[in-house]
Structure 1
């Protein structure tokens, strides 16, 4: 009986730990060798809110910001900051997307041959 209880407790604990990791983990970092892109949402959250403009920085390591293209609905490029950060503002209208996830496509490098997609969750305002 004790072994069964211990096994059930262990499985429950493992499930809770894995579930917490998945809910907190939003892919806001991309690395390709020495190249790196970090998405920093200035409100400090790892999601965006529909109909609310949110300043977002794409912090670049070993990537020229002049060779970076950022594509996605509601994204407005504001400029570059200290030659390593592309500043943007993102405002996605409610009921615009099929799923509550914004896909941001990144292209960079010679002939824009390299790329990545970021998937950022969207929520309704409370």
Structure 2
């Protein structure tokens, strides 16, 4: 009895802690991370929620209460174009047959309220048709 209560409590704590860091994805081409009053949102400007192999697609990373100059965006085929007014403009062009799966893992590192924070967006990639 005590073991099952302990296991249930651990499971609930894990779920609550993961909710704060969830990678939200919608059909509109937007991925976001929020923690308190800070956050970052990646918008795929094509309007899709996926990328296309061998096709340069513009994206914006919009930072809220995070200094984009002290942040990093890491992922295959990502080219930073400019950072201005809290928005980092990028172009993503992933060559076909370079990834192990049809998912681009975009890693974000930044300072949030004085502490180093990391998150990851998992963006699906499709082939041209």
| TM-score computed with the length of structure 1 as normaliser | 0.75
Alignment: residue pair count: 104
Q: How far, CA to CA, are the matches of 1:120 and 1:102 in structure 2?
A: 5
Contact 1:67 / 1:112 at 8 angstroms: preserved in 2? no
Contact 1:27 / 1:119 at 8 angstroms: preserved in 2? no
Contact 2:29 / 2:48 at 8 angstroms: preserved in 1? no
SS of aligned partner of 1:95: coil
RMSD: 2.3
Given the superposition, is the C-alpha separation of residues 66 and 112 from structure 1 closer, same or farther in structure 2, using an over 3 Å criterion? farther
More helix by percentage: 1
Contact 1:100 / 1:121 at 8 angstroms: preserved in 2? yes
Give 4+ residue runs of structure 1 displaced > 4 Å after superposition: 22-27
| TM-score computed with the length of structure 2 as normaliser | 0.74
- The match for 1:105 among 82, 107, 112 is 107
CA displacement, residues 6-53 of structure 1 (integer Å, 9 cap, x when unaligned): xxxxxxxxxxxxxxxx99598711101111111100101100000000
